[in-house]
């Protein structure tokens, strides 16, 4: 088997695994804040691994010009969207789970 194909398959498999873990976290985690964190991190890293796997599998200038901006946009937009969803949940007074011992925003009530 070709080394390039093995690396590409490994990256795609890792990306699919990370996205699956994000999906399980979306279903299993107890509150909106934990769910947002799981999806923002696992799904974005999974998508980046998938895109890198495609780039390694079929390297070309066209693929690089398409996939590198997609990776950069994923790195820029996913943390911002996760933050925005968490902030919207806090402002709408979404409840924290009972095991949460520290709420650093409690002194700054939602507007």
Helix and strand numbers, DSSP H then E, in the chain: 4, 0
Question: What does the DSSP assignment read for 21-46?
Answer: HHHHHHHHSSSHHHHHHHIIIIIHHH
| Per-residue pLDDT reduced to its tens digit, 9-54 | 999 999 999 999 999 999 999 989 889 988 899 989 999 999 999 9
What is the distance between the alpha carbons of residues 58 and 51, in angstroms, rounded to a whole number? 11
Domain boundaries, the chain: 3-91
| Per-residue pLDDT reduced to its tens digit, 73-106 | 999 999 899 999 989 998 898 888 888 767 777 7
- pTM, entire model: 0.82
């Amino acid at each position: 088997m070709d080394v390039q194909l093995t690396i590409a398959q490994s990256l795609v498999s890792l990306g699919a695994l990370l996205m699956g873990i994000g999906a399980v976290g979306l279903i299993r985690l107890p509150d909106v804040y934990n769910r947002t964190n799981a999806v923002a991190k696992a799904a974005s890293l999974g998508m980046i691994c998938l895109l890198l796997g495609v780039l390694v599998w079929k390297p070309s200038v066209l693929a690089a010009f398409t996939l590198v901006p997609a990776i950069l946009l994923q790195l820029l937009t996913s943390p911002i969207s996760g933050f925005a969803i968490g902030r919207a949940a806090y402002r709408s007074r979404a409840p924290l789970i009972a095991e949460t011992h520290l709420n650093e925003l409690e002194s700054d009530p939602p507007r």
